[in-house]
Structure 1
Amino acid sequence: MATPTVEPKARKRRRKTRTKTVSPLPAIIASEIKTSEINLTPGKEHVVCPACKCWTPITGVLSKPLLVPHHTTPYHDRTTTPRRCSSSNRRIVLNTEVEAWQEQLVERTEVSSTVASRRATKVLPKPKAHPAPAASQLTPVPLSAEQVRKAFRRHQERCLACKGEATDRAGQTLPCRDGERLAVTFLRLVRQEPKRLAIREFFARERRRFDREYAVAAPKREAGWAAVLPAVQTADQSRRTVPQGAQPAEGPEVPLDHMVPRQAAERPEQGPLKCAHCGTTESSLTSAVAAGWCRITRRSHCGRCAERFPAWTRIPF
């Protein structure tokens, strides 16, 4: 008869670990452990157990340091079947001074914070939510009797009221409002389908007729524009003016005579004009207008002298 296997159970841990039992495993060297995996603060000596990776207190620091007996699970993780760690009562050699350990810990903390500050923060792209189109941008889709019929059939397959299986407390069959609405819509579309088809055919014929007329009239329209193009170009050239100042001498069809306003051309010649400020003279009114002369307080001034007065005081000829 086979002996039943009994699951080993750890004994209740003593409050103060005072034992002469020493683990046969080789001793742990403190200098070979990472600075972040050991705590040498006086009165709070702890180390990460190499077997179970749990923080474990160190006892007998002043004489023979040992790892206190502990379980393989952390103290905050209560379990009904705890197991004793194989590194319990294991020797540890504290060959690192407390001051040296503190300096290494501070240096490691500063380096970590510096590296973290230099490292670029990962930017998570925000999902782009496309805005809903406006009501004016929505394209209405006309309903067809076939679409409504398919929706009505799918509804009948799923609805218990349409099958006659849904009843109230009194045992009476409940009506289905959705099925009734789909049935009424289907009958209305079937009744209006001939009229809808006639309207669609009418618009299709009108669109084809418009395309034919446009194709016939397009060459005539192009020929008409080509016929009036020389007259339009002549009118555009006649409306061109030369700005005041230096006259351009290069370019096609550049006018070489002064372009003066109609008001100055219609006035009779009054002889030479004299500037009331500097005494400059012009032979005719046409030449004076072309040179930018103005009237200021009813006196003639040349273009250079007129610039000294405010713009609202300058009255053209």
Structure 2
Amino acid sequence: MTITSAMPTAKERPRRTRTKRKPSNRPALKLSQLLPSHIDLREPLKAVLVCEDCKTWCPITGVQSKVQKLVPHHTGKAGVADAVHCRGSNRRVEFDMTIPEWRQALADAHKETSSRRPTAVLPKAFSRQTGQTLRARAERTPAGRVADWNAVLPRVADVDGDRSRMPAGDVPLDGPTVPLTTLRPERPPR
């Protein structure tokens, strides 16, 4: 089948977003004047930015057409009965920076904010004695701990012996006698 002049052909349609609302009469948003973190151009055909009025993320329509605008959106949450159009709806957007320039501005902003954040947790100040104790504890090995314990054992035995001896002098007349043997509860037979 051949194409003749009598056969209708489809016209190419304009690539623009048709909305009933005209663009806002407010001045256009310039991308260079917004914070780089409030713009998302990772997918250029699905570009979004933060509306200055209601602080919500809004898509940009007509990215491939002559006029780019913010999508008409509401100020309230979804499902609320009184839906009010945001003043930033249909506001024109000027792409006065390229995507590589935006990426560079975003990287610079990230470097600047990361330099303001502390990266190291600083320990609390402590006394000289505490510092010596912590250093000694860090330098000790398991064999050193056993040797230290063995060196302390004779003094511990002396203190235990002193505790078990009765003091010299008169025995109190009133009151119960002090038990000298350790009391251990008996377990019931199974």
Taking structure 1 as the reference length, the TM-score comes to: 0.30
Larger gyration radius, structure 1 or structure 2: 1
- Between Structure 1 and Structure 2, which shows a larger proportion of helix residues? 1
- Give me the TM-score of the superposition, normalised by structure 2: 0.49
